[in-house]
């Protein structure tokens, strides 16, 4: 059987990335050009700045991805690209580059949903057995997703307001941590204790939805009040208390979903899936489940949790097997839904 090699593009937010992925499982090359430094002085991603940076590097990193994989266009079976959700101007750069390459070479084009990509990062770590259940936690999304097979996904739980990563970034700003704050807050959390007992929203509700804006407000109010009375709060305890609340809610709802849907594999994906506290907690809770409903656990490599094109190549392989190709009318869709 012939190997299938896919060249993939990702440019939905603040990383420009290209990758060659073999058979949806093996990363032959992965280039991630990050723009974080350019956005940090603004405290978040500036869409126009993002688009400009994507344009500057995309041709160069296309060549690099092919070179590092020891490939030429002749070796590539499909060109894949994230077409949503994300920043429309940023998405357009990747979509235009992929369409131009497809038109020039005649290689088929595949449009990939960014969220499907995050979830399929797991496929680059181990084999997913279906049905699978995914906790998809990033800067823009917090969802529990049921995977019936490699290409059919259903959202069973969603955030009503802020995404988990967004909440990390917002409380990070209050603590003077550079965007994106998640990694630093995670490190601080391991040096403190849950002394503040922030609220855990919707824990006992009979659904799989989340809400993080109340937690964010409680955190900010605590900090402002301390400022007014000139009280010093311990930043490690603040971080630990915030993280304990986030992890409690995510773990509680996810375990309930696992009990209900009884998937064969449990997957985590997205930037917040790199969180040490969350990874440890999910491993521990799943280890404690009764044997007959204990799913296999796949936590993607840390470097595949954040935005990258390898995950897009992995998801595109499944769409390729399912003959789901795009044509040159493919367009960026900033609010694409799974």
Counting beta carbons within 10 angstroms of the beta carbon of residue 32, is it exposed (0 to 12), middle (13 to 18) or buried (19 or more)?
A: middle
Question: According to CB under 6 A, which residues from 48 to 87 bind ligand KG4?
Answer: none
If one asks whether residue 138 binds Zn ion (CB under 5 A), the answer comes out as yes
CB-wise, 113 or 188, nearer to Zn ion?
113
**Residue 169 has which token pair?**
């970034």
Inter-residue contact 314 to 283 (CB < 8 Å): no
If one asks whether residue 275 binds ligand KG4 (CB under 6 A), the answer comes out as yes
If one asks whether residue 139 binds ligand KG4 (CB under 6 A), the answer comes out as yes
The footprint of Zn ion on this chain (CB under 5 A) covers a number of residues equal to 2
Q: Binding residue per annotation — 106?
A: no
Around Cβ 179, how many Cβ atoms within 10 Å?
Answer: 19
Question: According to CB under 6 A, which residues from 305 to 324 bind ligand KG4?
Answer: 306-307
CB-wise, 22 or 279, nearer to ligand KG4?
279
Nearest alpha-carbon partner for 307 in 169, 165, 206: 165
Q: Binding residue per annotation — 118?
A: yes
Phi first, then psi: what are they for 80, rounded to 5°? -115, 150
If one asks whether residue 142 binds Zn ion (CB under 5 A), the answer comes out as no
Gap between the Cα atoms of 207 and 210, Å rounded? 9
Q: Binding residue per annotation — 20?
A: no
Inter-residue contact 163 to 212 (CB < 8 Å): yes
Nearest alpha-carbon partner for 179 in 168, 192, 190, 164: 168
- Distance from chain centroid for Cα 39: 19
Q: Binding residue per annotation — 275?
A: yes
CB-wise, 166 or 307, nearer to Zn ion?
307
If one asks whether residue 271 binds ligand KG4 (CB under 6 A), the answer comes out as yes
Inter-residue contact 240 to 188 (CB < 8 Å): yes
The region of 98-106, 146-154, 279-287, 305-313 touching Zn ion under the rule CB under 5 A is 305-313
If one asks whether residue 111 binds ligand KG4 (CB under 6 A), the answer comes out as no
If one asks whether residue 300 binds ligand KG4 (CB under 6 A), the answer comes out as no
**Residue 331 has which token pair?**
């367009």
Gap between the Cα atoms of 292 and 300, Å rounded? 24
Q: Can you tell me which residue has the tokens 């699978």? A: 132
CB-wise, 17 or 102, nearer to ligand KG4?
17
Gap between the Cα atoms of 307 and 292, Å rounded? 34
CB-wise, 22 or 39, nearer to ligand KG4?
39
CB-wise, 66 or 272, nearer to Zn ion?
272
Mask 82-121, x = binds Zn ion (CB under 5 A)?
Answer: ----------------------------------------
Residue selected from 307, 308, 312, 326 as contacting Zn ion according to rule CB under 5 A: 307
Question: According to CB under 6 A, which residues from 178 to 237 bind ligand KG4?
Answer: 180-183, 186
Q: Binding residue per annotation — 182?
A: yes
Query: What's the min distance (Å) between Cβ of 133 and ligand KG4?
Result: 19
Provide the edge-to-edge strand list for the sheet that holds 265-269: 152-158, 142-149, 132-137, 265-269, 296-298
Residue selected from 138, 142, 211, 241 as contacting ligand KG4 according to rule CB under 6 A: 138
In DSSP notation, 71-124 reads --GGG-SEEEEEEESS-HHHHHHHHHHHHHHHHHH---EEEEEHHHHHHHGGGG
CB-wise, 139 or 313, nearer to ligand KG4?
139
Nearest alpha-carbon partner for 99 in 307, 332, 322: 332
Annotated binding site for Fe cation: 114, 118, 307
Binding residues for ligand KG4, rule: CB under 6 A, are 13, 118, 138-140, 165, 168-169, 180-183, 186, 270-272, 274-275, 306-307
């Amino acid at each position: 059987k012939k190997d299938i090699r896919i060249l993939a593009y990702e440019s939905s937010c603040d990383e420009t990335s290209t990758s060659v992925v073999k058979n949806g499982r093996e990363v032959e090359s992965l280039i991630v050009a990050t723009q974080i430094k350019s956005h940090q002085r603004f405290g978040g991603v500036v869409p126009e700045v993002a688009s400009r940076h994507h344009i500057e590097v995309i041709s160069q990193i296309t060549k690099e991805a092919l070179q590092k994989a020891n490939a030429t266009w002749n070796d590539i079976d499909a060109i894949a690209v994230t077409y949503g959700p994300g920043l429309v101007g940023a998405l357009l750069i990747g979509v235009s580059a992929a369409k131009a390459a497809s038109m020039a070479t005649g290689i088929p084009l595949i449009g990939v949903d960014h969220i499907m990509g995050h979830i399929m990062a797991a496929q680059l770590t181990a084999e997913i057995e279906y049905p699978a259940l995914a906790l998809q936690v990033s800067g823009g999304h917090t969802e529990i997703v049921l995977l019936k097979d490699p290409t059919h996904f259903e959202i069973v739980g969603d955030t009503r307001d802020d995404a988990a990563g967004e909440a990390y970034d917002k409380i990070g700003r209050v603590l003077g941590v550079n965007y994106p704050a998640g990694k630093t807050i995670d490190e601080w959390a391991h040096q403190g204790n849950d002394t503040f007992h922030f609220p855990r929203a919707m824990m006992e509700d009979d659904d799989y939805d989340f809400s993080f804006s109340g937690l964010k407000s409680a955190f900010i109010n605590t900090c402002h009040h301390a400022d007014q009375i000139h009280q010093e709060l311990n930043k490690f305890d603040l971080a630990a208390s915030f993280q304990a609340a986030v992890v409690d809610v995510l773990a509680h709802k996810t375990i309930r979903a696992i009990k209900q849907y009884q998937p064969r594999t449990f997957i985590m994906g997205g930037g917040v899936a790199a969180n040490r506290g969350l990874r440890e907690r999910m491993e521990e809770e799943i280890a404690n489940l009764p044997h007959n409903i204990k799913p296999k656990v796949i936590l993607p490599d840390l470097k595949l949790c954040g935005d990258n094109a390898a995950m897009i190549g992995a998801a595109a392989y499944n769409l390729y097997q399912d003959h789901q190709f795009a044509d040159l009318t493919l367009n960026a869709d900033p609010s694409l839904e799974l």
